[in-house]
Amino acid sequence: MLQLQYTGSDLVIEAGNKKSVVFHTTDQTVEIDGIDVSFPGEYEKGGILWEVKEYLDTLFYIFSIEGKRLCIVTSDSFELREEILKFFGDVDILVIVGTKGAAKVFESIEAKVVVPYGEGTAVFLNTLGQHVEPVANYKIKAELPIDTTEFVHLEMS
pLDDT in tens, 28-52: 999 998 889 999 999 888 888 999 9
Q: In terms of pLDDT, which residue wins out, 54 or 34?
A: 54
Q: Is residue 14 part of a domain?
A: yes
**Structural domain boundaries enclosing 116:** 2-151
pLDDT tens digits, one per residue of 93-124: 999 999 999 998 998 888 999 999 998 999 99
CA 102 – CA 156 distance, rounded (Å): 20
Please choose, from the candidates 138, 105, 107, 117, the residue with its C-alpha nearest in 3D space to the C-alpha of residue 13: 138
Are 68 and 2 in contact by the 8 Å Cβ rule? The answer is yes
Task: Note the pTM of the prediction, 2 decimals.
Answer: 0.93
Q: Is residue 157 part of a domain?
A: no
CA 151 – CA 4 distance, rounded (Å): 13
Taking 80 as the threshold, does the pLDDT of residue 18 lie above it? no
pLDDT for the residue 40: 95
Taking 80 as the threshold, does the pLDDT of residue 86 lie above it? yes
Measured between alpha carbons, how far is residue 23 from residues 20, 28, 89, 96, 104 in Å? 10, 7, 21, 11, 22
Please choose, from the candidates 79, 46, 42, the residue with its C-alpha nearest in 3D space to the C-alpha of residue 61: 42
Total number of domains in the chain: 1
Instruction: Express as a percent the part of the chain with pLDDT over 70.
Output: 99
The CATH number covering residue 57 comes to 3.60.15.10
Measured between alpha carbons, how far is residue 11 from residues 24, 107, 147, 155 in Å? 6, 23, 26, 10
Taking 90 as the threshold, does the pLDDT of residue 152 lie above it? yes
Q: Is residue 121 part of a domain?
A: yes
pLDDT for the residue 124: 94
Please choose, from the candidates 142, 144, 76, 147, the residue with its C-alpha nearest in 3D space to the C-alpha of residue 113: 144
Rg (CA), the chain: 14
Please choose, from the candidates 156, 23, 19, 27, the residue with its C-alpha nearest in 3D space to the C-alpha of residue 96: 23
pLDDT for the residue 142: 78
